Amino acid sequence: MQTGVLGACVISGCTGSSPGSEKSKSESGSTEVAAGPGGDFVFTPETVEISVGETVTWTFESTGHNVSAKPKDDPKIEIPDGAKPFASYKGHKKYQLVEKGETYEHTFETAGEYTYVCTPHATSGMVGTVMVSE
């Protein structure tokens, strides 16, 4: 049985410091983002707010998606100076997809704003943001 972000919010509670942002914590303490819920080209929530050292876990709720915060992959991607780029794929395979039901996680060590995309669907607006504070 899959639990979506909405279900996680009901169980664990969500807080949002600004409109459109949420903080949904899983049992492991990471913030959860759904990739492609309902087959849509979206990340839900679109914006999350965390602190340095915290982890975001993306759960792939439909096929055909990935996560990239490697600026060379798409002009929409932006990461803070000094931050290490990350992606759900290995090497230079920017269109490598993650299977439905799988997860990808990244721990953020640098404060700032990260804009990431699903590389196959960035032009369709599948873009998300992680705000990382000290």
CA distance 110 to 122: 24
pLDDT score for 23:
46
| CA distances, 132 to each of 41, 69, 77, 110 (Å) | 24, 14, 15, 7
pLDDT score for 2:
36
Domain limits, the chain:
5-91+99-133
pLDDT score for 19:
41
CA distance 61 to 43: 10
pLDDT score for 1:
34
Domain 5-91+99-133, what fold?
Immunoglobulin-like (2.60.40)
pLDDT, mean of residues 4-24: 37
Tokens read off for 47: 């914006």
| CA distances, 21 to each of 31, 64, 91, 131 (Å) | 12, 24, 31, 9
Model pLDDT for residues 54-78, shown as the tens digit of each residue: 999 999 999 999 999 999 999 999 9
pLDDT grade for 91, boundaries at 50, 70 and 90: confident
CA distance 134 to 118: 26
| pTM listed for this prediction | 0.80
Name the percent of the chain lying above pLDDT 70. Answer: 79
Query: Which one is predicted more confidently, 9 or 35?
Result: 35
Model pLDDT for residues 17-49, shown as the tens digit of each residue: 334 444 455 556 789 999 999 999 999 999 999
Query: Which one is predicted more confidently, 129 or 28?
Result: 129
